[in-house]
Chains A and B, each alone.
Chain A
Amino acid sequence: MTDPLIWICFLIFLPLVGGILGYCFKRYLQIVNLTSVGFSLAVAVLLLISYTSPIRYHWEWLPKFHLSIVIDQISLLLVTLVLFIALLVQFFSTEYMRSEKGIARFYGKLGFFIFAMLGLLLADNLLLLFVFWELVGLASYLLIGFWYYKDGIPKAARIAFMVNRVADAALLSGILLVYDQAQILSISDLNGTFTLLSSLLIAFGAFGKSAQLPYSGWLTKAMVGPTPVSALIHAATMVAAGVYLLFRVAPLMHEKAMLLVAVIGTLTAFYAACCALVQFDLKKVLAYSTISQLGYMTLGIGVGAREASLFHLLTHAFFKAGLFLAAASIIHFLHHVSKQDAQDMRYMGGLRQKIKWTYWSFLFCGLALAGLPLFSGFMSKDGILLGAWAFATEHGGWAYLIPDLGLITALITAFYAARMLLLVFWGESRTVMQHGFRESARFFVPTLMLALLSIWLFYHWNPFAHHAHFFSMLGIKDAVFAGGGELIPFLATLMAGVGTVLGYAFFKPDSTYAKNFSILPIPSSLGMNMLFRGLALTDLYAYLGKYIYRFSMLLAFIDQKLINPLLHLFAIGSVVFSKVLALLDRFLVDGPVNFIARAAAFLGRRLAGLSAREGQVQFASLLVILILILIWTFFF
């Protein structure tokens, strides 16, 4: 290969160009889009194979301010991952979105998303990262709102966008504080540590995209978008951006901020797993499980096991995208054969026989989610828990809560994964199905590929290996492995196993829960209801929004009824003042003038009358002369 820069540009811009071209030439829509992403993927793989050392490019963007991108193994690995899943999703969508009116618009937005995501992964400069970060948020907004004419969807898209925007504001503040501190923003040039404030702001920016507490409500809102979009954006790629950012800046972050990252990650992982346990909507279960798994990754970075988190990001991307695509197949299937809500698990059941390829994919991915040995999820979660254990032994005391909660979450995860699997696929169907249906190969081929990638063998021959093995296989030597905690793999296996078994016992087809499931109401007890509503986070946002709106109404009132009347008062005051002046002018100033004039006229008239009527001209003349003498003597 010649200059990699050309290839990198090619790689980044091709999906965007493909999306635009596809929009312009709708006849060749799918072909153009799939080829462009396919080419990009090929370039990414070639770059990854021929990788020797990190390359950086920078160019002057603002006066005395350079932007830079960096091509190293990590970014290339993730670029390949994004393009691979994007290609599968695009392929899947050729069937799934076939009858949609705006399919060209769909592919256009998808192309834009891929472009933005690749930019985000390759950016070395924090500001450039922020640029793509915002674009990714925009693409997500556009794709969630794809069915803009349906009720409730634009609102959900807005909530998702606004929550992200709040986080972005924190991130931008953090970045600018770093800029003030260091005068540069290239991650590879930065050294030392950020101040506590900027670290916290950056962390709270990253939490936004990765749907950590307190932002996590937006991800469940985002589920109203097309399901392939959920697979790509809200499971595999965009939501991982926050984790990726934390991964890149972790060595620079303030220690206390990292502690907070670990705590927030743990709490998010735990609460979201609990929420997933009580949902009826299949996509909501998957959304909460995504939040929970992202919590694991965040926790991993917080405790210093950042390579393990990255590995979990990788494995999770595959099995969660697989789960979402399988869910899309299920929804598509039910949409065609049943009149009921196609996403509600209460109307599912017994799908094992109906769509068996989807079942097998879902099973594999689900077991990876549950964290059972022989599947990828186990390997990566193991690494994070090991890291947490090492962190706990180092800090002692309360720090043990982190691995403990992590292990309990692992149990809950296996439990709800079993619940989902059993209620959807096993037992008898809980709805009336009309006619036969044949699974489309365009559905199960990509799903199966993702399912296969959740088997351990693709990462390392040893099913109990973890991230360090995987990364050293890739030639990334500096991946550290936190030693100690030999019990962890055993405990993790135990937890996942117990969770699965418990799940089977609870939710097996002849259990009371499964029998009554179709008529189960929304939980009414406070605790369960809060879990069902995801701790009512979205209500909290709505509440906040409402009060900000009310405050703005108040300000508008002040503007109209306070500032304006003051102005009017001023205006009216000056008019009144000028009226008063006009009166004064008329009576005080003009009055004496008129008096003199009238007096003169009166005198004149008298004199004229005297002379004309009575003929006393001499007397009149005498009077005039006397008056003149009087005036003369008075003045001189």
Chain B
Amino acid sequence: MQNLLSWIFLFPLAVAFALLLIPSAKKSLFRVVALITLGAQFILSIVLLIGFDSSLAPSSWKSAFQYVVKVDWINLSLASVGNFKIQYYIGVDGISVLLVALSSLVLFIGVLSSWNMKEKVKGYFFLYLLLSSSVVGCFIALDFFLFYLCFEFMLLPMFFLIGIWGGKRRSYASIKFFLYTLFGSLFILVVMIMLYMGVQEEGINTFSLAAMMDGNYLTDAVLNPESDGYFLGVPARSLAFLFLLVGFAIKLPAVPVHTWLPDAHVEAPTPISVVLAGLLLKVGGYGLFRILYGIFPDLTAKYSGLLAFFGVLSIIYGGLNALAQRDLKRMVAYSSVSHMGFVLLGLASITSAGIAGSLYHMISHGLISPALFLVVGVIYDRTHNRTMDCFSGLAGKMPVYTFLVALFFFAGMGLPTLSGFIGELMVLMGAFTSKVLAKWYGILAILGMIISAAYFIWTLQRVFFGKYFVRESAWEPHMKDLSPRELIMLIPLAVLVVLFGIFPTWILDFSNETIEFFMKHLSNSLS
């Protein structure tokens, strides 16, 4: 039990290297191995959820985590400079435990979606398993160095997965994605080093996130809230806050640093889009929670207007862009940008409803956006086309498919009783009751809900309703309703989207105590 988290984290990694020993000729074996591995990961993460004590009310971040494993990884004595120490320090709290569970579910569904992968299967599943480990690693790492390692390491498999298995402009998209996010990570790297220099645990400099959140700064550290370190005439702490914000905003992504996302999504194969939208964006959101808000709580109120502004900008700008798209996948990609704006807005509100709403929205979007990419993938698999004008009236031919598409579209536009609504509602409740935000942020965000309804309903009308039509008669024989494999992928997501829309406490109960503590953490340092 003690090593459960390590199993969830490292098992796919170990299998990935074991996979290299299987001869490339045994093509169908790879997907089976990957499925079993990620199935096991999923089961383990359910065990993790069951074993998680959601009633634990922490008193400090050090005690806030469960399933903690903390061993020395690198421990160098550097004579007069001191000790250089990196720990293998992992654990989960009420925020990350949900994201771990979400990751293993989405990764598992991603394997199902890769089932018919034909080319270079070995390399594909090797990279996919690497990606699985590093995504989970991001959510459980409590050592900043380990986090950064996983954060960066995600790029590598992702780069190849888009660059090799992607669409026509794959090399452009993968390089853009890689460089853009790498650019963001460098900002994070700078802050990480600044923090390492200033934070100590038991008299030794440390990368421990818990120690950083608890604020164990050296008295003369440049980032110590009490000291007033300046860097280029700007308070060092503010600069670090903004650096982190840029780094994670690129990953999230927030307008205007979002343009890598539509290209990456459009070029990526369906399962990679699923993981990208479902999980990689959440790493950005998680970073905002854990690192930006966790370590710099004292600056949150000062910059909340900034966060809310970019949140609302993303909501409206992303939504309007989605409205303008003709490519289904591009539309879904921009809708992701729009949805991630709510995460920013919820955090900016600094209310427990808003912050819990941000988390809820991440989980819910982690279910809805994979589903949306999967349903676009269904049509792409059949026709190798996903331009809206090429289709019309699919409802008559593919009723089950249309039903599920409509369900996910309605979830995406935040219709009540579906999970998308709860996240948006709580964020809006936060934004309206916030002490630091003006009311118009919330009202503008509600405008975003009109826009999202517009593009989803319009797409529904153009592609699925009306007279039946497909542009090329060669597609005709392929226009069949969902196969069992597609149903197995989509139905669990549909069920969860409905259940989480009706019983929000099923999710919120896990994170209540952590969010409470998070709020206390924020308000203590703000007062």
A residues lining the B interface (CB < 8 Å): 60-63, 65, 127, 130-132, 134-135, 138, 141, 145, 148-149, 151, 153-155, 157-158, 161-162, 165-166, 169, 172-173, 176-177, 179-180, 183, 545, 548-549, 551-553, 555-556, 559, 563-564, 567, 571
Contacts and interface: CB of A to CB of B under 8 A. Distances in A.
A130 B416 contact: yes
Interface of B: 176, 179-180, 256, 259, 262, 317, 320-321, 323-325, 352-353, 356, 393, 395-396, 410, 415-417, 421-422, 425-426, 428-429, 432-433, 439, 442-443, 446-447, 449-450, 453-454, 457-458, 460-461, 464-468, 504-505, 508, 512
A162 B453 contact: yes
For A61, A145, A154, A571, the residue with the greatest tally of chain B CB atoms inside 10 Å of its CB is A154
For A127, A138, A158, A551, the residue with the greatest tally of chain B CB atoms inside 10 Å of its CB is A158
Given A169-B447, A553-B324, A567-B176, 13 more contacts: A63-B352, A131-B417, A131-B421, A134-B416, A149-B467, A154-B465, A162-B453, A166-B450, A172-B428, A172-B446, A173-B442, A555-B321, A556-B325
Nearest to A574: B179
B466 A176 contact: no
Contacts of B356: 63
Contacts of A548: 320, 323, 454
Nearest to B501: A131
Contacts of B415: 134-135, 138
Given A135-B417, A149-B466, A552-B324, A176 B432 contact: yes
B325 A154 contact: no
Contacts of B259: 559, 563-564, 567
Contacts of A135: 415-417
B505 A162 contact: no
Given A60-B505, A149-B393, A548-B323, A169 B446 contact: yes
B504 A179 contact: no
30 contacts: A61-B505, A62-B422, A62-B505, A127-B425, A131-B421, A132-B416, A135-B415, A135-B416, A135-B417, A145-B465, A148-B395, A148-B466, A149-B393, A149-B465, A149-B466, A154-B460, A154-B465, A155-B461, A158-B461, A162-B450, A165-B449, A165-B450, A169-B449, A173-B442, A176-B428, A179-B432, A548-B320, A552-B321, A553-B324, A567-B176
Contact of B439 (A145, A151, A177): A177
A149 B468 contact: yes
Given A131-B417, A555-B320, A162 B454 contact: yes
Contacts of B504: 61-62
Contacts of A172: 428, 446, 449
A180 B417 CA distance: 23
A549 B324 contact: yes
A131 B422 CA distance: 10
Contacts of A148: 393, 395-396, 464-466
Contacts of B446: 169, 172-173
B416 A158 contact: no
Given A63-B512, A135-B416, A148-B395, A180 B321 contact: no
A73 B451 CA distance: 39
A278 B465 CA distance: 32
Contacts of B464: 148
B447 to A, nearest CB: 7
A151 B416 CA distance: 29
A132 B502 CA distance: 12
Contacts of B432: 176-177, 179-180
Contacts of B467: 149, 151
A553 B324 CA distance: 5
Contacts of A179: 429, 432-433
A556 B321 contact: yes
Does more than half of chain A's interface fall in helix, strand or loop, or is it mixed?
A: helix
A131 B416 contact: yes
B156 to A, nearest CB: 20
B499 to A, nearest CB: 14
A124 B323 CA distance: 36
Given A169-B447, A555-B320, A563-B259, A571 B395 contact: no
For B395, B442, B461, the residue with the greatest tally of chain A CB atoms inside 10 Å of its CB is B461
For A60, A62, A131, A567, the residue with the greatest tally of chain B CB atoms inside 10 Å of its CB is A62
A149 B443 CA distance: 36
A127 B179 CA distance: 45
Given A149-B396, A169-B446, A563-B256, A138 B410 contact: yes
B317 A158 contact: no
B120 to A, nearest CB: 28
Nearest to B503: A61
Nearest to A101: B396
A556 B466 contact: no
A169 B429 CA distance: 14
Contacts of B396: 148-149
A476 B272 CA distance: 63
Contacts of B461: 154-155, 157-158
A172 B449 CA distance: 10
Contacts of A63: 352, 356, 505, 508, 512
Given A169-B450, A564-B259, A158 B458 contact: yes
A61 B500 CA distance: 11
A145 B406 CA distance: 13
Contact of B320 (A61, A149, A173, A552): A552
B159 to A, nearest CB: 16
For B352, B421, B428, B465, the residue with the greatest tally of chain A CB atoms inside 10 Å of its CB is B465
A48 B450 CA distance: 39
A172 B504 CA distance: 19
Contacts of B443: 173
Contacts of A153: 465
A183 B351 CA distance: 13
Nearest to A554: B324
A578 to B, nearest CB: 13
A549 B457 contact: no
Given A169-B449, A177-B432, A180-B433, A555 B324 contact: yes
Given A179-B429, A179-B433, A548-B323, A165 B466 contact: no
Contacts of A555: 317, 320-321, 324
B324 to A, nearest CB: 4
A549 B454 CA distance: 10
Nearest to A133: B416
A509 B286 CA distance: 75
A549 to B, nearest CB: 6
Contacts of A180: 432-433, 439
A149 B395 contact: yes
For A131, A153, A545, the residue with the greatest tally of chain B CB atoms inside 10 Å of its CB is A131
Those 5 A-B pairs whose CB atoms lie nearest each other, nearest first: A154-B465, A556-B324, A131-B416, A552-B320, A176-B432
A183 B512 CA distance: 19
Contacts of A551: 320
A165 B256 contact: no
A548 B320 CA distance: 8
A157 B453 CA distance: 13
Contacts of A556: 320-321, 324-325
Contacts of B466: 148-149, 151, 154
A153 B460 CA distance: 13
A553 B421 CA distance: 27
A367 B512 CA distance: 60
B350 to A, nearest CB: 14
Contacts of B428: 172, 176
A201 to B, nearest CB: 9
Nearest to B465: A154
For A135, A138, A559, the residue with the greatest tally of chain B CB atoms inside 10 Å of its CB is A559
A621 B417 CA distance: 99
A162 B450 CA distance: 8
